[in-house]
Amino acid sequence: MSLFDLLFKSFKSDPLYKLEKDCGYHFRNRSYLKQALTHRSITSNPRKNYERLEFLGDAVIDIVISKELMKEFPESDEGILTQKRSALVQKSFLSSMGRLLNLLDFLIIDSTVDLTQDKIAIKQAANLYEALIGAIYLDKGIEPAKRIILKTIWINRQEAWKSVNHKGHLIEFCHIKQLNNPKFLITDVSGPDHQKLFEVHVKIGENVYPSGIGSNKKDAEQNAAQNAIEILME
């Protein structure tokens, strides 16, 4: 066997090679990829775990998705665009993208963290996806990060937009967790009659959660419910 064959065999046996192959992206700097897969339970050093990359990836996803939405819906107002983007960047959908790439199989995490719990697994898969996007952005810039986003989030966008019932999910979550029933409060209505924007806050007990905005009351309630769910699941 030639030296080249030995090196190629060694490269293919690297567990991260499969991840790179599935993503369709190979890192110049593997340290970014390793950091993107390292949970805080392994190290609290912010330059060694995925949290900073997750933060960056979240921003990259937002800008890429926002631009694609403006191209696909050139006549839609801010409320519609916000609603559609919210469905694409919600934790549950990002988690499904993380699972699509089997990112949990590569997570470097302490054995005391129980990934058999759905709540933990959903959060980790979403975090890993965002961290991966952040790592790719640092490694080679916006274009390769955009390609991954388009072939995962964007290509599956219709699935995310199919009747996402955040309000029902929130009511069910509160019931299971024995919390007060959520109240949906309209806090602002702005804009002309033909292009109104509604702002709604969710109140659960004494806690008020970040507002949701929509072009009608129903959409605003759904977006507000989504914001509340994401905070409650942190």
Catalytic residue among 51, 54, 130, 139: 130
Rounded to whole angstroms, the Cα distance separating 135 from 144 reads 11
Catalytic residue among 51, 58, 68, 199: 58
Instruction: Give me the number of domains the chain comprises.
Output: 2
Same-domain check for residues 150 and 214: no
Specify whether 58 is catalytic.
yes
Same-domain check for residues 172 and 155: no
Domain end position, chosen among 161, 192, 223? 161
- Structure tokens of 185? 């409060």
pLDDT in tens, the chain (234 residues): 443 344 334 445 577 888 999 889 999 999 999 999 999 999 999 999 999 999 999 999 999 999 999 999 898 777 678 778 888 998 889 999 999 999 999 999 999 999 888 888 999 999 999 999 999 999 999 999 999 999 999 999 988 887 567 888 788 888 888 999 999 999 999 988 777 899 999 999 999 999 999 888 988 998 899 889 888 877
Q: Calculate ∠ Cα 33-38-42, nearest 5°.
A: 150
The CATH number that applies at residue 67 is 1.10.1520.10
Same-domain check for residues 55 and 133: yes
Same-domain check for residues 127 and 171: no
Same-domain check for residues 59 and 81: yes
Q: Which domain holds residue 218?
A: 166-232
Specify whether 110 is catalytic.
no
Same-domain check for residues 156 and 192: no
Residue pointed to by tokens 């519609």: 80
Same-domain check for residues 140 and 189: no
If one counts every other C-beta atom within 10 angstroms of the C-beta of residue 106, the result is: 18
Same-domain check for residues 98 and 156: yes
Check residue 2 and give its pLDDT. 46
Domain end position, chosen among 161, 190, 206? 161
Same-domain check for residues 97 and 200: no
Same-domain check for residues 97 and 192: no
Q: What is the DSSP letter of 194?
A: G
The CATH number that applies at residue 217 is 3.30.160.20
Same-domain check for residues 33 and 112: yes
Same-domain check for residues 155 and 171: no
Domain end position, chosen among 161, 188, 212? 161
C-alpha distances out from residue 26 to 23, 30, 87, 97, 140, Å: 8, 9, 29, 18, 10
